[in-house]
Structure 1
Amino acid sequence: MKNYKIQKTPFVVPTTDGKLIEEHFGKATDGNDAISIAHMIAPPKWKEPFQTPEFDEFTYIIKGKKQFIIDGEEVILKAGESIKINKNVRVQYSNPFDEECEYIAICTPAFSLDLVNREE
């Protein structure tokens, strides 16, 4: 048995908002509860509802820009920048811009719909 795993077939999370989510490691891919790592592409004008996740989320922007509203403060990151948002903090993720945003998201513990606490 090898002491590593190469991920060649990430789990593509079904979405209805045009966002691409490829989970490389995490609950949906390998059952890992400790961490999830996902490659994402948010289309122009995309946004999620406000949420208060029960996990820390690290985001690294590869291409484009992404807007975060964190406890009422607007933060915009561009390619090459990153952020850590602590768990139990109210946040909204969006791409109100005219070009897609490509990024990597890492959640600890792993992302789960049960832990997101989205406001609908």
Structure 2
Amino acid sequence: MTMRVKNAVRRVTMGAAAVSLAILGSGTAHAATGTLDFYGPGVQKLTDPKDGQCYNVVVGDYGDKRVTNNTNKPIHWYAYDNCSGDEGHAVLPGATGVSSETWWPIVQIRSVKIG
């Protein structure tokens, strides 16, 4: 193989590696863009929450009744702290999740997980 061909192969290989790194990123957590708006004992807002992170959202003794997902990622809400218990209820971007119109505050949103 000539030196010119070897150099061309190296440039193509290095270019492909750079593109792969740019696409895959560093593997760190990314934030969802937008807000989560909670309604219950008080209105609270969570801005640009981190993907994969669990947030406890209890105000005082009670969790929230509704959460509106104004982010670009789905979320899951849980009736227990620390995103524990049964698998969370999914809320897609642009949608509102309701714990219970009838049973709140017995059933309440106590934590949410992004992604």
TM-score by length of 2: 0.31
- RCO comparison, higher one (Cα < 8 Å, 6+): 1
> Larger helix proportion, structure 1 or 2?
2
> Larger strand proportion, structure 1 or 2?
1
TM-score by length of 1: 0.30
